[in-house]
Every structure is written in structure tokens, then in C-alpha cells.
Amino acid sequence: MRRIVLAGVVLAAFALSAVHWLGLLVGGVAVGLLAGSWPRALAGGAGFGLVAWLGFLAVLANAGRLDGYLASGQLLYVSLAIPLVLGTVGALSYFLRTRVRTA
């Protein structure tokens, strides 16, 4: 059940990410809250950011802009860092839970 909820929430977060960057943070928060342990939470948050970025690459590729993006240097690094950082920070939400798994 938790996986279904997780999948639904993550999809919603992707949709939100398409209109605002807060979607990346929200996605991380959702992953963190639903994770079984803090390492999983943080890995899941970063993973969410990475998947969002890969989805972004697909959008660029579809528009014929992937090569230009991959050659953009600084912009590439910034736009990769943003989802990774936001997803991971959002996943800190794991520690908002009443009881946390410490190992």
C-alpha cells in the first residue's frame, strides 16, 4: 500500500515540478515521509531528483535541444544540482516522523 501511495505522490510531485521547482522539494518530502529508514529516505530523495532530471533530458531530447544542453557547461551543472539538492533536502522529512529508525 505504501508503495502505491509513494508512486502516486511521486507522480504528483513530477507533475508539480513541470510547473514549479517546489515540486522537486515536495517530491523529496514525500519520499522521505514514506521511507523505511533515513538512508533510504535520503537516497530516495536524491533518486527522485535524479529521475526528475532524466525526465528533463527526455523533454529536451524530444525538442531537439539535448546536444545544446549537454554542451552548456555551467547551466548543465546547475540544473543537475537543483533537483538533487531539493530532492535530498525534501527527504529530510523522514526526521519529521514521530519515531525514526536510527539504523
Contact residues toward another protein (CB under 8 A) are 14, 17-25, 29, 52-53, 55-56, 59-60, 62-65, 67-69, 71-75, 78-80, 82-83, 86, 89-90, 92-93, 95-96, 98-103
Quote the radius of gyration of the chain (alpha carbons, Å): 14
Q: CA 94 to CA 40: how far, in whole Å?
A: 9
Residue 4 or 10: which CB sits closer to another protein?
Answer: 10
Q: CA 21 to CA 40: how far, in whole Å?
A: 23
How many other C-beta atoms can be found within 10 angstroms of the C-beta atom of residue 11? 11
Work out how close the CB of 5 gets to another protein at its nearest, in angstroms, rounded to a whole number.
20
Work out how close the CB of 68 gets to another protein at its nearest, in angstroms, rounded to a whole number.
3
Residue 6 or 82: which CB sits closer to another protein?
Answer: 82
Work out how close the CB of 88 gets to another protein at its nearest, in angstroms, rounded to a whole number.
10
Q: CA 28 to CA 78: how far, in whole Å?
A: 18
